[in-house]
Homo-oligomer: A and B are copies of this chain.
Amino acid sequence: MQTAVNGLNEECGIFGVWGTKEAAEVTYYGLHALQHRGQEGAGIVANIDGRLRQERGLGLLADVFSKGDRLRDIMGATSAIGHVRYATSGSNSIENIQPLLAHFSDSQLALAHNGNLTNQVTLRRELEDQGAIFQSTSDSEILMHLIRRSQAPTFTAKVKEALNQLRGGFAFLLLTPDALYAALDPHGFRPFVIGQLPTGQYVAASESAALNVVGAKLIRNVQPGELIKIDNTGMQIDHYTEATDLHIDAMEYIYFARPDSDIYGVNVHTARKRMGANLAAEQPVEADIVVGVPNSSLSAASGFAEALHLPNEMGLVKNQYIARTFIEPTQERREHAVKMKLSAVSSVVKDKRVVLVDDSIVRGTTSMYIVRMLREAGAKEVHVRIASPAFKYPSFYGIDMQTTAELMAANYSLAEMTAKIEADSLAFLSVDGLVDAIGLQKQASGTGLTTAYFDGHYPSPIYDYAESMQAFEDAHLVDYMEEPTCKMHTLQPE
C-alpha cells in the first residue's frame, strides 16, 4: 500500500465558478486552458438544480467529455468545479479522478485538489484507525474525512479545523450546493488565482491563463493560509491560519505554468526570457545560432539569443499531435518516441555551432537524443545550456520520487553529464540567476520562493517523507553538492 500512496505526488489543474447559468461550459473552457497541468484524467462536478452531479474519466478533457453527452448532461448548472489530473502509472483508476464527490443524507461535498500532502500517510492511518473508509488511494480524500469528522459548529469552521491538520502543498476547491470554497496552503506552493467574469461572477483557477479563456479578469492571487468563500452573497476572504510564509514553487516559473500566466505579478514568459538572458550572461558560448527545445524552452532561448546577439532559429520542430507507440518501451522505442515528437531542421543547423537551450534536465536521456538528432542533421557543435539550476533534490510538492531517484544531476558530475548527453559543453543557470530572473516582489504573506530542488532547502518539515529523504541522500553523490544553503533567497522589497 505504501507505494500506492507515495506514488500520488502530482501536479494538477483546478478550476471553479459560482453563479452563472453556463457554469459547466465555463469550467470546461477553463480546464482546457489548464490541460498542460494534467493529462491523465479530467472531471467536473456541477450543481444542477441544487444537486451536485459528477462527470469524470480517464484521459484528456476533450476525450472524456466527448463520450456520451457528458457535457450536455451538466449544462444549465449554476456552479461547478473541475480538475485535470497528472499521476504516475499504477494509480490511474477511475476512483482517483477528481473532483471527488461525497453524498450525505443531508448534503453533498465535492473537492478538487492540486498539490501533495506531506503528512498524508500519518493522517490516513489515524483516520482509518477511527473507522474511516477511503474509496480512492488519493491523498485528496483526506480533507473530506477531516471536515466530516470535525466537531466545529459551522461548515466553515469545520473546513478551517481540517485545513490546519494538513501539511505540504495544496490548493483546494470545495463545492457544496450552497457555496464554493478556495483554500491555499500556508506556504503557497502552488499558484491559485481569483478572477471575475464581465457579468460579475467569480471564478477560481490554478493559473491566470485560464481566466483569459473564459473572459474573466484577474482580481487577486489566493494568498497562503486563505479560505475564500464564494456564494450568492458574493466573495468573503477569510483565513484559517496566520502562520504563513510564501514559498511559491520555482518550477512553476521554470516549467509547469503556461507562458501567458502571471504568478504573483510575474509573467511566466517574461521570467523565462530573463532566465535565458541570465544564463547567457553566466555561461556564454561562441556559437552561430541558438535553438530552443519547443515548446517549453522557446522563451528562454529567445532571451539567451537576444543577450548574446545570436540568431534564434527554429532548428527543432515539434509535432503538434500526441504520439502513442502502443509498444513496450525499450531503449530503442524511447528514442523513437522522442523522434515522433521532435525533428531537427537540417537546413537550419547544418554546419552550424548550435547552442541548444532547454528548461531542465531530469534523466538526461531525452537531451542525449536531441543532441544526437542535431548532429545527424549536420550541426558542427552542440552546446547545451539549461535555463534552470541542476536538479539534484527530490520534490515533495509536485514530482514523484521514482523520477527523482534517477535525477542525473544527483548522480553525476558536470563532466560526466556532458559526456552522457554527448554535448560539446553543458552549463546550468545558477540559483541566484534563477531568483533574479523570476524577480518576485516581496509579498505580505511571505518572502520566498521554493528552490529546494536545486539546493535541498525545504521551507517546511517533510514529515512522512523524512525517511525517504535520508535514503535519497545516502544513495546519491554528496561531493557534487555545492553547500546547500538553507537561507531563503532574499527577495526584492515590493
B258 touches A317 (CB 8 A): yes
B267 touches A345 (CB 8 A): yes
A420 sits at the interface (CB 8 A): no
Q: Within 8 Å CB of A144, what residues of B?
A: 133
A103 touches B134 (CB 8 A): yes
B61 touches A321 (CB 8 A): yes
A432 sits at the interface (CB 8 A): no
B71 touches A326 (CB 8 A): yes
A125→B106 CA distance, assembly (Å): 9
Q: Within 8 Å CB of A62, what residues of B?
A: 321-324
| Best-surrounded residue of A121, A145, A320 (most CB of chain B within 10 A) | A320
Q: Within 8 Å CB of A461, what residues of B?
A: none
A317 touches B259 (CB 8 A): yes
A102 sits at the interface (CB 8 A): yes
A345→B327 CA distance, assembly (Å): 39
User: Contacting A343 at CB < 8 Å: which of B60, B125, B260, B343?
Assistant: B260
A269 sits at the interface (CB 8 A): yes
A66 touches B345 (CB 8 A): no
Question: Smallest CB–CB gap between A338 and chain B, Å?
Answer: 10
Question: Smallest CB–CB gap between A435 and chain B, Å?
Answer: 19
> Interface code A54-65, partner B: CB below 8 Å = 1, 0 otherwise?
000000111001
B213 touches A327 (CB 8 A): no
Q: Within 8 Å CB of A212, what residues of B?
A: 339, 343-344
CB contact list, A303-352 vs B, under 8 A: 306, 311-314, 317-324, 326-327, 336, 339-340, 343-348
A1 touches B340 (CB 8 A): no
A473 sits at the interface (CB 8 A): no
B102 touches A131 (CB 8 A): no
A429 sits at the interface (CB 8 A): no
Q: Residue of B at shortest CB range from A56?
A: B94
A324→B35 CA distance, assembly (Å): 13
The stretch among A238-246, A294-302, A354-362 that forms the contact with chain B is A294-302
Pairs across A and B, CB under 8 Å, 17 listed: A1-B103, A29-B336, A29-B340, A36-B319, A60-B321, A62-B324, A102-B134, A103-B136, A104-B134, A128-B148, A131-B149, A132-B148, A133-B133, A212-B339, A260-B345, A260-B346, A299-B314
